[in-house]
Structure 1
Amino acid sequence: MALLEFLCWRAATLLLLFADVVHGISVHISNEEPTYIMPGSSLVLRAHIEHNSQEELSAVTWERAPESGAPDGRTSLAACPGGSLPLPVQCAGLRPNVRATLEPGASILHLNKYGKSDAGVYSVSVTGKGGQSSTARCIVREYEAVHHVSVSINISHSSLVCGEAWGTEPQFSWLHEQDAVTGSVGHVSPDGATLLITKVPICGHFTCVVSNKLGYSTATYTAAPCEPEGISGATVAIVCLVVLQILGGGLAFLLWRRYRYKNRGDRLRDNMDDNI
């Protein structure tokens, strides 16, 4: 059933594309995936236009609408004249920070000082003299910093999961006691959000660091304190040496004391024998 629905959807798409070719007009925007723009920077959208020599363009328009789809939020951004004007031509920008151009086979929209209110669905519509038209759309969103990082533990799977609210393009990394996680501590999932802990027992401070182009934020999970490491090798040798020195000193003292009292007793017996 799912395969049949997919085939029907593909067939409908091909039919729409075929209709555009027959009518002689098609347009698509290079930014097919959602585009994220840093606040205060410039947005540039490029639309590729195809039409046959018999179909002359009458108009090219750019618009923006809320991503929610509210019909009353549609805004006209620019209108480009059609006809047989020599290209490129400047389009009429309908907003102070917007300008657009119509070039051979393309139309380019420039928006300066991008702000939160500029987010939405951008569309470009191309209309021919015969009334045929084609429209392309893309989603534009504001690039946002990471927010509200949290770490939770899954005891049954010995893993930690790092979560982040709505930051753009979050990158995850892990620290254990302020050092990068190594294989002796655990393994990080391909997306970086999950840490599978191999260290037994689970102890110490595990910190998740989430970052993007606007900065970073952290969250820490604290387990029981870890036992001091490295109590083998040189440390064990030193401890054993100290213990042996203490035992050896005690044994030497006992032998010396025993020898002293033995000599003292021998001298007392000798003195008694001389007096007799």
Structure 2
Amino acid sequence: MDLQYFLCWRVAPLFLLMPCGLLCMSVHIINEQPVHVIPGSSLVLKARIELGPLEEISMVTWEREPETGIDSVRVTLATCPGRSLKCAGTRPNVRMNMEQQETTLQINGYSRADAGVYAVTVTDHTGAETTAHCIVREYEAVHHVSVSINVSHSVLVCGEAWGTDPSFSWLHERNTITQTVGRVSTDGTTLFVTMTPICGHFTCMVSNKLGYSSATYTAAPCETDGRGTTAVVVCLVLLLLLCGGVLAFLLWRRQRHSNRGERLHEHLDDGI
């Protein structure tokens, strides 16, 4: 009896010191957060469940509640009893399944009303619960692109209102930015102009999966070789026209004197 008592006191602390991973159930959502979904497409959330060797799953539940607001009402989306394949969604467009220690929630035809904080709750055979959360938002198109300039530092900054995953790029006179024009920052929002003086049109293009928008900063016109060539051509044409006009005038004047001499000669012949 004393030996049994001694063993109980020796073994009990070992259970208290065992890692929680062996005795405690955990769940985490695999998706990178926050999750942005394009309206009309499908929302797919996956969660990984970790169990101890003595634990069993009794119930898995997916729920949703508003991300903001005072009255937060949690809505049950789907449930699955234990490791059963008979998972059920509360709406026709909601599906749930269990595969080994992974659960998946799929909502087809995502709409703005489906945004919010999603929770997956796992209940073990003793009634203990563990929950993981994930924020889901609507994928927004880019809006209100603007370009501002810091003249003293020759810097152009591109801004965008609230689009999801915006991608920035720059153009100068509809051409890609070169080293002679400037340098673009790593995130694409800033253009450090190296050309002097700053001239021409600088356009910032912002795009994502739903389209693009742009804004342009217009500086003084650039003097290019093409314009110089055009000016030379115009001057040559004017010079040719002027020379042609002078030549025509001289020919007309010569012809006039010739006609006058002929009339004078005829008049003298008639007098004789």
Fold match by TM threshold 0.5: yes
Output the amino acid matched with 1:127.
T
Stretch deviating more after TM superposition (187-196 or 31-40): 31-40
Aligned to 1:217: 213
Shift of 1:56: 2.0
Question: Deviation above 3 Å: which 4+ runs of structure 1?
Answer: 229-232
Structure 2 Cα separation of the partners of residues 90 and 38 of structure 1:
29
Q: Is the 8 A contact 1:88 1:104 kept in 2?
A: no
State the percentage of identical aligned residues: 60
- Any idea what the Cα deviations from partners look like across 1:129-153, whole Å, max 9, x if unmatched? 2122211111211111110000000
Aligned to 1:229: 225
Shift of 1:112: 0.4
Q: Is the 8 A contact 1:90 1:100 kept in 2?
A: no
Mapping 1:88-237, distance limit 5 Å: 88-229=84-225
Q: Is the 8 A contact 1:65 1:71 kept in 2?
A: no
- Any idea what the Cα deviations from partners look like across 1:93-130, whole Å, max 9, x if unmatched? 12332111123211111110011111111110101121
Q: Is the 8 A contact 2:158 2:189 kept in 1?
A: yes
SS of the residue corresponding to residue 144 of structure 2 reads coil
Mapping 1:252-271, distance limit 5 Å: none
- 1:71–1:102: structure 2 CA closer, same or farther, 3 Å change rule? farther
Structure 2 Cα separation of the partners of residues 23 and 210 of structure 1:
50
Stretch deviating more after TM superposition (136-145 or 65-74): 65-74
Structure 2 Cα separation of the partners of residues 220 and 73 of structure 1:
45
Aligned to 1:72: 72
Mapping 1:239-254, distance limit 5 Å: none
Stretch deviating more after TM superposition (32-41 or 193-202): 32-41
- 1:150–1:231: structure 2 CA closer, same or farther, 3 Å change rule? closer
Shift of 1:62: 0.4
Structure 2 Cα separation of the partners of residues 147 and 125 of structure 1:
37
SS of the residue corresponding to residue 130 of structure 1 reads coil
Structure 2 Cα separation of the partners of residues 88 and 184 of structure 1:
65
Structure 1 Cα separation of the partners of residues 195 and 86 of structure 2:
64
Aligned to 1:273: none
Structure 1 Cα separation of the partners of residues 23 and 130 of structure 2:
10
Structure 1 Cα separation of the partners of residues 80 and 202 of structure 2:
57
Structure 2 Cα separation of the partners of residues 92 and 70 of structure 1:
29
Q: Is the 8 A contact 1:187 1:197 kept in 2?
A: yes
Shift of 1:180: 1.3
Shift of 1:231: 7.8
Structure 1 Cα separation of the partners of residues 143 and 217 of structure 2:
17
Q: Is the 8 A contact 2:23 2:53 kept in 1?
A: no
Output the amino acid matched with 1:78.
A
SS of the residue corresponding to residue 123 of structure 1 reads strand
Equivalenced residue count is 219
- 1:177–1:231: structure 2 CA closer, same or farther, 3 Å change rule? closer
Tell me whether 1:61 sits opposite 2:61 in the alignment: yes
Aligned to 1:30: 30
Stretch deviating more after TM superposition (112-121 or 88-97): 88-97
Gaps of 5+ in 1: 1-17, 250-276
Q: TM-score, normalised by structure 2?
A: 0.73
SS of the residue corresponding to residue 117 of structure 1 reads helix
Output the amino acid matched with 2:27.
V
SS of the residue corresponding to residue 171 of structure 2 reads strand
Shift of 1:204: 1.1
- Any idea what the Cα deviations from partners look like across 1:158-190, whole Å, max 9, x if unmatched? 011000011111111111111111111111111
